[in-house]
Amino acid sequence: MKLKKGFTLVELLIVLAVIAALLSVATPLAINAVKSAKASQVAQNFRSIKSAIENYFNTETPSDPTNIQNSDLENGYINSFPANFSFTISDSGNGVYTVTITYTGKDVALDKVQKAGLKEVAQNGDNLELTFDLQKWW
């Protein structure tokens, strides 16, 4: 009897079908994992910017906190300002300042950022926003 070396066409097709079935199950899981990781990164960036603003505000005691810029925070309060983030500070009166941090990237969902541990983030149009108050004590 003569022995054949290699695989038959049917065996190759079965292996390809099994691989395709495994990929169809694994791909959505991988996509969800990437989305969750991006949401965690955005939530951490919100926290870092909030902390940098609070530290700058309380350490530097600026006479007009509404003029704080990204470059002020990069001088020892945050390593580098993340892309797609901005912030505004407005005077609410009586030494209270309202800070709004905005994320303009459209690549993450609000519910995923909130599940990442930042419940106070809200949707404003296409953007995500974190709003908090700072009290001037000086």
Enter the pTM of the model: 0.84
Total residues belonging to the chain: 138
Rg (CA), the chain: 25
CA neighbor of 57 nearest in space, from 98, 118, 102: 98
Q: What is the pLDDT of residues 35-92, one digit of tens each?
A: 999 999 999 999 999 999 999 999 999 999 999 999 999 999 999 999 999 999 999 9
Q: What is the pLDDT of residues 15-38, one digit of tens each?
A: 999 999 999 999 998 999 999 999
User: Where does 84-125 show beta strands of DSSP type E?
Assistant: 85-93, 96-103, 121-124
Instruction: In whole angstroms, give the CA distance from residue 137 to residue 93.
Output: 13
Coil, helix or strand at residue 129 = strand
